Structure 1
Amino acid sequence: MSEATLETHSFQAEIKQLLDLVVHSLYTDREIFLRELISNASDSMEKLRHLQGTEKDIHDAELPLEIHITTDKEAKTLTIADHGIGMTRGELVENLGTIAHSGTKAFLTAMKESGNSPANMIGQFGVGFYSAFMVASEVQVHTRSWRENGEDLVWTSDGTSGYSIEEDKDLQRGVKIVLKLKEEHEEFSDEARVKHLIERYSNFVGFPILLNGERINQVEALWLKNKSDVTEEEYKAFYEFACHAYNDPAYRLHFAADAPIAINALIFVPDENMERLGMQKTEPAVALYCKKVLIDPSPKGLLPEWMRFLKGVIDSADIPLNISRETMQDSALVRKLGSVISKRVIKMFEKEAEADPEKFQAFYRKFERFFKEGVATDYPNRDALAKLLRFESSMTEDGKLSGFADYLARAKDGQDKIYFLVGPSRTQLESSPYVEAFKARGLEVVYFTDAIDEYVIESLGEFDGKKLVSISHAGVELEDNEAEGDALGAEETEQLCAFLKDNLGERVTTVASGKRLVDSPIIALVPQDGMTPQMRRMMKAMDENFEDEVKVELEINPRHPLVKKLAEAKDKDPELAKLVASQLLDNALISAGLLDDARDTVKRMNALMEKAMG
């Protein structure tokens, strides 16, 4: 080239400063440059595709709309070429010589003014091109405009001093960007490294991407297609590729919405919970895209934390991003997006549970911790999530799960509470004295056997307006029930209660005859404001120095033979009666899971056996 054809430009001081910001501060991950350059190439060809419908004279009209990427490890270069609209000399100065000017943005504005807006435009910010200087010491842009009278030109810059424009020759329509890589970034001339980046960030770009002649983006962006147009084989292939999974998902959600925000989503529910198998905490795996370009493969805060087991894609053209596309700028809009998705996911689970209860129960047993975490932490979705909780109860077969809606369907007319009991296993809960009165009255009791259940239920509080009530607490009102056997008289019962209170002292707050018992002599109830056994164990697990003095309310069964014998013994053999009273209290505390130290219990039991043996 002769010097007469060389046109040089210097960057102004403020432009240099802004370019320095783009190169050194704007992007936190340098590999993002390839995504930006591919997105620009895609935009350029999207514009060309639009022009093909309005313009007759397009240079090299027969060229296929493809993106060609070439690596050269020996020359330490990376080349990205497209057959888009290309640029004229004036457009080179305007688009590449002026930071923060976006040809794409100007094109979008023109399309909107004319009533059109190509849906697959990606660039909005005008600085994506300059990310190339993060990894390149020199960038050459070879270009030929789509216009028939266009020039063959090459724009060259080191990203610091300025740029030059000179004539080129024998160029095809479009843009070819050649990056001369910095020594510390020569990895980007490696074919395997570049292939990984294409698959990670740009695999679903709407045009073929060829790397050294081989097409890379084979899997379609299925989330943008109608469900009726996608086969099960395509879903399976997409799941394997995008979600790195090799088994079939348990459930799938594929939907599109225009309001209140434009959304296309394809979300999969895996069939196994890796956290349950002892793996580390699952990271969010529903990737966020904007018009088929990856924004964040693991966006935190987009969906509620408990949904971290989901996999798939959410694509929204409405997301306003910061200037580097790396972080989401409008948190209110992002929250709206997350809210819409989370509600659709929960609705999907609700429909699947209704359509195939057995399948959902099997799934729930693996993933129940996530749903319970959601009830405790995801307040906006708490009521909807409560419908998905499953449990065993006093009216379900061993191993069969039920839900709160089923419980209420079986409840007695006028029943305004849902009764539950927390314990280590169904077997222990079934034999608990707490359940006796409820079984006798035909009242169903929900069995919760997970360590976190009590906290979850406390967070929930009620379901469908019915209060959740623990039957291990005092203050639960029950209707009178006709019981078998003669009972102590009112005066005898009152005297026995006074005797027990005097001898048991501060270990009990009250002693009274109650309606709770059928087969057991005595029961220990946690005061309304008291700490339950499960909560005490949790506190101890968190703090080994935790201490809590156990005080309970006692209810006695005035029909039980042991209680009637104790009423006689308190006058005839007070010492024996005192031993029996203390032993009955310890027995009740053991049933309640509230006895921390059984040494005195064993000594007392030995003394009672000695007396029994004479």
Structure 2
Amino acid sequence: MSGTSGETKEFQAEVKQLLDIVINSLYTDREIFLRELISNAADALEKIRYLKLAGSEVWDKDLPLEISINVDEQAHTLSISDTGIGMTGDELVQNLGTIAHSGSKVFLKHLAESDSKDVNLIGQFGVGFYSAFMVAEKVTLLTRSYKPEAQGCRWTSEGTGSYTISEEEGLSRGTKIILHLKDNAREFAKPDTVKRIIKQYSSFVPFPILVNGEKVNTIQAIWTKNKNEVTEEEYKEFYKYISNAYDEPLFRLHFSADAPLSINALLFVPNDNFERFGFGRLEPGVNLYCKKVLIQQQSEHILPQWLRFVKGVVDSEELPLNISRENMQDSVLVSKLRRVITKRFLRFLNEQAEKEPEKYHQFWERFSMFIKEGAASDFTHRDELVKLLRFESSKSEPGKLISLKEYVGRMKEGQQAIYYINGPSREAIEAGPYLEVFRSRDIEVIYTREAVDDYILTQLGEYEGKKLVSADQENLDLTGDDGGKEKGLPEDEVKELLEWMKKTLGEKVSTVRESKRLVDSPAIILSPGYTTNSMERMMQLVNKDGHKIAPKTMEINTKHSIIQKLNALIKKDETLAQIAAEQIYDNALISAGLIVDPRDMVDRMYQILEKAMES
């Protein structure tokens, strides 16, 4: 043992500094010490398993590969032992007393340069062992190397300035760490506390973890398996476990990738979305693992916020973390990981939409709010998200949804634009004047139901080379077709009527013009190209103190009997004609879904009724 038997040695200065940082300030949650010690034990077991497979000579080769934790509430101790690779006396000194192999020197150098505790890989530095001193006033370590000629060793320290190392007889292969708990850490001697921590952080360690003889990690890390090796029942049980759910998932994506990053992922779409019922904003549902050890629960970094409904696990050996494994450090690599997983998940949804349209319809009904949120805010993935959008249309059956791709696939020859119109319901849209020109020309129109739909389509601008145009825009190059049955006013009377209406309505309208698009309605309100009526409605709702409607273009149908009678009324009773013109304007606003002052309308209706009753 190179003369170390029964000796007390001083920690190197850097190790003393390291211990002070780890014990007093590095970890924000003390229970992480158990995760670190279990992770180290699992690494030791992985190494011995490799050596055995490679045919190396191994001491105690028939020992089962497992991790045993024993707690004693009376003695206030916690011990964790493994049957892994173990250490020799020299390795103990090198790994725990000096900076030769622990990575402590690199850690301290990084700490000094960055002037921050937000450092690099815990695995790279290998200092997780020292976290035991967060909860222990004294640590005893018993170990025997796998090498046949090695001697057993005892290492003891109170985590201050020194440690004692001596020979120990009668040890089996592996390492046992005994923590003599501090007075304020005695809860870690309770079996239930230890089991809870293991289930939270180390459920998927690939070796049995026994607590006072009882196996705790009963759930397998099925995301690391080939999907052909996992049964449907195992998937369902795993989903229920990680989601704390009782139902079954709607969709499941299980995939592995080697490039550009090494990733194992298992993602689920739940059966329902409780955020839509007003139960509050969902928390991210994906847990982040590194080599089956939990790094971050409900990670905010692995998927964008608009995919917060997704549940599951992502495991990447390449993921860099800070020294405490609590925050991720390398933002470039994390961003790459997020892009890879997000892109793969969106591709999966598009595949499901093609393969199982009815099931995707269920998904859209429950989770469309998240897809729209992404399409409205995430420019990186907008193209993939737009493919997922679904709408009703003038040519779809009620309740049936179509994609933009389907719309383009059945466009009329020569049609240069994709048309859409917003309204609170299919019935309201179809009762309004905006579809008349499209109906007469047999042109399909997409129905949007929310202002965010119009925002997305407006921002998108075009799809597959076809412009996206709101049907309430003022400059549509379309002419309605009434079959030539109706005759309009003479040209000179039309000009006079338009001038009179503009003068009567004043600043309420930017212009009044003859309509070429109306067939059955007397008038219509149109928006300029930079906005839509739905955006105007949203502004009205947001500004509850009152939003003044911007002047819009008003078109009148000079073939309609109401407009022709208004023209005649001007000459007989201009006062009543002015009241009627105001009412036609308000009716057009209502057809556009815009809010009008009901008091003015009621007063005007009474005036019209009074005049009607006089005749």
TM-score by length of 2: 0.93
Q: Does residue 575 of structure 2 align to residue 575 of structure 1?
A: yes
In 1, Cα distance between the equivalents of 2:4 and 2:256? 56
Q: Please list every run of at least 4 consecutive aligned residues from structure 1 whose deviation after the TM superposition is greater than 6 angstroms.
A: 103-106
Distance, in Å, in 2 between the alignment partners of 1:278 and 1:162 is 58
Q: How many angstroms does 1:516 deviate by?
A: 2.1
Alpha-carbon deviation of 1:166?
Answer: 1.8
Q: What's 1:170 paired with?
A: 170
Residue 113 of structure 1 aligns with which residue?
none
Q: Which residue of 1 aligns with 2:606?
A: 606
Partner of 2:498: 497
Distance 1:451 1:72, change over 3 A: farther
**Counterpart amino acid of 1:488?**
L
CA distance in structure 1 between the partners assigned to 2:100 and 2:588 by the alignment: 76
The CA distance in 1 between the partners of 2:408 and 2:225, in whole Å, is 41
CA contact (8 A) 1:105 1:123 kept: no
Kept after mapping to 2: 8 A contact 1:268/1:311: yes
Task: Find the residue that maps to 1:175 and give its secondary structure.
Answer: strand
Aligned-pair CA distance for 1:122: 9.1
Task: Name the CA shift for 1:52/1:494 in 2 (closer, same or farther; >3 Å).
Answer: same
Query: Is contact 1:539–1:546 with CA below 8 Å preserved after alignment?
Result: no
Instruction: Specify the alignment match of 2:478 in structure 1.
Output: 478
Q: Is the 8 A contact 1:224 1:264 kept in 2?
A: yes
The 1:494–1:306 alpha-carbon spacing in structure 2 relative to 1, beyond 3 Å, is same
Amino acid of the residue matched to residue 194 of structure 2?
V
Aligned match of 2:420:
420
Q: Is the 8 A contact 1:122 1:290 kept in 2?
A: no
1:63 corresponds in structure 2 to 63
Code of the residue aligned with 1:47 in structure 2: it is K
Contact 1:18 1:99 in 2 (8 A): no
Distance 1:433 1:604 in 2: 23
Match of residue 132 from structure 1:
132
Change (3 A) 1:322 1:66: same
Question: Which residue does the alignment assign to 2:95?
Answer: 95
Q: In structure 2, what is the equivalent of residue 558 of structure 1?
A: 558
- Alpha carbons of structure 1 residues 542 and 156: separation in structure 2 relative to 1, 3 Å: farther
Distance 2:154 2:540 in 1: 72
Give the superposition deviation at 1:529: 4.1
Cα deviation digits, residues 80-135 of structure 1 (max 9, x gap) = 100111111100000111258339999xxxxxxxxxxxxxx993322010111111
The answer (yes or no) to whether the contact 2:35–2:198 under 8 Å persists in 1 is yes
How far apart, CA to CA, are the structure 2 residues paired with 1:4 and 1:500?
104
Identity of aligned residues (%): 52
Compared CA separation, residues 42 and 444, structure 1 to 2 (3 A): same
CA distance in 2, matches of 1:243, 1:55: 42
Structure 1 spans left out of the alignment, 5+ residues:
107-120
The equivalent of 1:517 in structure 2 is 518
Task: Return the letter of the residue paired with 1:82.
Answer: D
Please give the residue correspondences for 1:42-81 in structure 2 after superposition, counting only pairs within 5 Å. Answer: 42-54=42-54, 56-81=56-81
Q: Which AA in structure 2 matches 1:202?
A: S
Q: Which whole-Å CA distance do the structure 2 matches of 1:67 and 1:330 have between them? A: 32
SS of the equivalent of 1:581 reads helix
SS state at 2:277 partner: coil
For residues 128-161 of structure 1, the C-alpha deviation after alignment (integer angstroms, 9 at most, x for no partner) is 1011111111111111111222222111111112
- Counterpart secondary structure, 1:333: helix
1:35: which partner in 2? 35
C-alpha change, 1:100 and 1:348, in structure 2 (3 Å) is farther
The one-letter code sitting in structure 2 at the alignment partner of 1:170 is G
Q: Which amino acid aligns with 2:156?
A: T
- Helix, strand or coil: the match of 1:281? coil
8 Å Cα contact 1:43/1:122 also seen in 2: no
Q: How far does residue 492 in structure 1 lie from its aligned partner after superposition?
A: 1.5
Cα distance between partner residues in 1 of 2:209 and 2:594? 67
SS at 1:140 equivalent: strand
The whole-number CA distance in structure 2 between the counterparts of 1:375 and 1:205 is 38
Query: Aligned in 2, Cα 1:300/1:363: closer, same or farther, shift over 3 Å?
Result: same
Matches of 2:135 and 2:460, distance apart in 1: 53
| Cα shift at 1:175 | 0.3
User: Equivalent residue of 2:493, what SS?
Assistant: helix
Please give the alpha-carbon distance, in whole angstroms, between the structure 1 residues aligned to 2:428 and 2:43: 66
- Say yes or no: does 1:151 pair with 2:190: no
Corresponding residue for residue 372 of structure 1: 372
Q: 1:328 and 1:62 mapped to 2: Cα distance?
A: 39
Aligned pair in 2 of structure 1 residues 99, 56: CA closer, same or farther (>3 Å)?
Answer: closer
> 1:188-221: CA deviations, max 9, x gaps?
1111111111111111111111111111122221
Range with greater deviation from structure 2 (12-21 or 169-178): 12-21
What secondary structure does 1:582 align onto?
Answer: helix
Asked whether the 8 Å contact 1:373–1:456 carries over to 2, the reply is: no
Structure 1 vs Structure 2 CA RMSD: 2.2
SS of 1:123's partner is helix
Seen in structure 2, the aligned counterparts of structure 1 residues 199 and 104 have a Cα distance that, compared at 3 Å, is farther
| Distance change (3 Å), C-alpha of 1:104 and 1:285 | farther
CA-CA distance at 1:549 after TM superposition: 4.3
Offset of 1:548 from its aligned partner? 2.6
Worse-matched range after superposition: 554-563 or 393-402: 393-402
Query: What secondary structure, in the 3-state scheme, does the structure 2 residue paired with 1:555 have?
Result: strand
The one-letter amino acid of 2:488's match is A
